[in-house]
């Protein structure tokens, strides 16, 4: 989460990976984390296009960075990593928002991801 947040500010995937590799000892990314970061960067426009219509009275630019990072990473998992149960993806994002976000961010992340998940399943 922190890795994505740190390196998601208007840089390319290649630049992010380069920065991550420089910090690799400190960050110690496993293959799973790398694959999530790669998926998210590679499909960022597509992911954002799924997230934004599911935000109620919010835009991507208004979302706190921790919440946005959690939404993007989780949306990538919901869209492209079908072997991970939806409830696990949503719960992990909520826990990350609780740990790294402000007091209310976890609630926002939970609601937004539930809407996104329903939308992806065609149930919204």
Q: Hey, what are 106's tokens?
A: 């976890």
Q: 3 with 35: CB under 8 angstroms?
A: no
| pLDDT at site 30 | 77
| pLDDT at site 2 | 46
In the chain, domain spans = 2-120
Q: 59 with 27: CB under 8 angstroms?
A: no
| pLDDT at site 27 | 58
32-50 per-residue burial string, b: 16 or more CB within 10 A, e: under 16: ebeebbebbbebeeebeeb
CA-only gyration radius of the chain, Å: 14
- The CATH number given to 2-120 is 1.10.940.10
Helix (H) / strand (E) element for 69: namely helix 65-80
| pLDDT at site 72 | 93
| pLDDT at site 19 | 66
| pLDDT at site 65 | 86
What is the residue-level pLDDT of the chain in tens, covering all 124 positions?
444 555 455 666 667 666 666 665 555 667 888 888 889 888 999 999 999 999 988 999 999 888 999 999 999 999 999 999 999 999 999 999 999 888 889 999 999 999 999 999 998 6
Q: What is the 3-state secondary structure (H, E, C) of 19-45?
A: HHHHCHHHHCCCHHHHHHHHHHHHCHH
């Amino acid at each position: 989460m922190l890795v994505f947040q740190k390196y998601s500010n208007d840089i390319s995937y290649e630049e992010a990976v380069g920065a991550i590799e420089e910090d690799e000892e400190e960050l110690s990314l496993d293959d799973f984390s790398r694959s999530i970061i790669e998926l998210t960067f590679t499909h960022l426009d597509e992911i954002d296009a799924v997230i934004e219509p599911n935000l109620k009275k919010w835009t991507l630019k208004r979302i706190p960075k921790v919440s946005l990072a959690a939404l993007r990473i989780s949306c990538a998992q919901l869209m492209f990593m079908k072997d991970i149960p939806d409830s696990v993806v949503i719960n992990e994002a909520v826990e990350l928002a609780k740990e790294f976000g402000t007091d209310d961010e976890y609630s926002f992340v939970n609601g937004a991801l539930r809407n996104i998940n329903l939308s992806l399943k065609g149930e919204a």
